[in-house]
Amino acid sequence: MASGYSELKNARIEGIRWDTQDTATVRVSLLEEEGRKSYSFKPGQFNMLYVPGVGEAAISISSTPEGSGVIEHTVRAVGYITRALLNLKEGDFIGFRGPYGNWWPVESIARRNVLVIGGGIGVCPLRPAIYYLLKNRKKYSSVKILYGSRTPKDLMFPDEYSSWRDSGAEVHITVDRGDENWRENVGVVTTLLNKVDVKPENTSALVCGPEIMMKFTAIDLVMRGIKPEDIYLSMERRMKCGIGLCGHCQFGGFFVCRDGPIFTYNQVEKFLNVKGI
Ligand SMILES: Cc1cc2nc3c(=O)[nH]c(=O)nc-3n(C[C@H](O)[C@H](O)[C@H](O)COP(=O)(O)OP(=O)(O)OC[C@H]3O[C@@H](n4cnc5c(N)ncnc54)[C@H](O)[C@@H]3O)c2cc1C
Ligand code: FES
């Protein structure tokens, strides 16, 4: 696996599927057969995707860890690199390195009740964990997925919720603002916690979304008796090298790329950004 910044075009765009107005899933395959065979990742890890002549961004893997040879990344067009990535076409080449970072502790939380809580496109790095948990559903006491977005049009992967339910998950969806067709919950994602039976002593929570959403979700979970060390949050900071060398992603005493992106709430509580409250 490449281990530093590289302009090498070593991957091919297999397709781009628009999920919402500003977010699309980019399907990528590695060019070299050897790399294709050996590539594997754990739920929650990310890759560094380089758009030739534009730049490189950290993007979480959103597909199943089972590995079909095509790796999915769900990208919101927010700036120069992500817009350029989403302007590419099937057959275009990009630079690819990874996987990097730690992962959701899906193996060590076996036999526990698992709460998966996503906000906005934060559900994308959780999606590989959801696939893993549901494929191994019998290993967990319960799997409850709580997901919220701003409006019904911003919901990611709406076609998958019924298969998540069929695979043994309790799934609750909410939006901040409904429309005339919306029949489910309205309110921020923490309001869904009132709809589920939370057994604090044996529950682990996997949480990803805007930092402020993760902060309030973690506070709520702690108030319900869940230990801070059983609450896992996936953090984002601006990245450059992705491998612990440049310091761009400094987060308190941590580097997000090297020590994260997944941290327990007790590790990061005092560094969480609550600007804008
Ligand atoms: C571990 C990890 C996983 C990620 N996974 C995903 C993913 O799955 N999908 C995805 O879409 N994105 C993901 N990101 C975020 C993505 O890497 C960044 O948004 C990246 O900066 C986009 O590059 P850009 O050039 O398109 O946008 P930028 O120009 O870098 O802008 C991105 C956003 O950051 C803001 N911004 C710009 N400059 C600054 C600054 N100096 N300080 C603070 N904010 C600034 C912009 O206003 C904009 O909202 C992830 C990031 C990390 C660290
Ligand atoms: S991005 Fe360089 S140290 Fe994390």
Residues 17-46: pLDDT tens digits? 999 999 999 999 999 888 888 899 999 999
Distance 258 CA to ligand 2 centre (A): 7
Residues 234, 97, 53: CA angle, nearest 5 degrees: 110
Which neighbouring-strand residues pair with 160?
A: none
pLDDT confidence of 277, banded at 50, 70, 90?
A: very low
Spatial contact of 197 and 141, defined as CB atoms under 8 Å apart: no
Is the CB of residue 204 less than 8 Å from the CB of residue 105? yes
Whole-model pTM: value is 0.93
- Residue 273: phi and psi, rounded to 5, are -85, 115
Residue to probe by mutation, ligand 1, list 85, 238, 251, 268, most atoms within 8 Å of CB: 238
The 10s digit of each residue's pLDDT in 112-129 is: 999 999 999 999 999 999
pLDDT tens, residue by residue, 55-72 = 999 999 999 887 678 999
Question: What's residue 270's pLDDT?
Answer: 87
- How much is the pLDDT for 265? 96
User: For residue 27, how far is the Cα from the chain centroid?
Assistant: 16
CA–centroid distance, 162 to ligand 1, in Å, is 31
For CATH 3.40.50.80, the residue range(s) in the chain are 113-271
Ligand located closest to 58 CA: 1
Ligand 2 mean position to 249 CA, how many Å? 5
**pLDDT tens-digit map of 92-112:** 999 999 999 999 999 999 999
Compute φ and ψ for 5, nearest 5 degrees. Answer: -60, 135
In whole angstroms, give the CA distance from residue 42 to residue 133: 12
Do 87 and 13 touch, CB atoms closer than 8 A?
Answer: no
> What pLDDT, on the 0 to 100 scale, is given for residue 34?
84
CA of 260 to the centre of ligand 2 (A): 11
Query: Which CATH superfamily is 11-100 part of?
Result: Translation factors (2.40.30.10)
pLDDT tens-digit series, residues 196-215: 998 898 999 999 999 999 99
Token pair listed for 276: 């804008």
Residue 224 has pLDDT above 80, yes or no: yes
pLDDT for 271: 85
CB 246 less than 6 A from any atom of ligand 2: yes
Which tens digits make up the pLDDT trace of 225-259? 999 999 999 999 989 999 999 999 999 889 999 99
Residue range 155-192, pLDDT digits in tens:
999 999 999 999 999 999 999 999 999 999 999 999 99
**pLDDT score, position 6:** 52
CATH fold group of domain 113-271: Rossmann fold (3.40.50)
Q: What pLDDT is recorded for position 201?
A: 87
Residue 276: predicted pLDDT: 44
Residues of the chain with CATH 2.40.30.10: 11-100
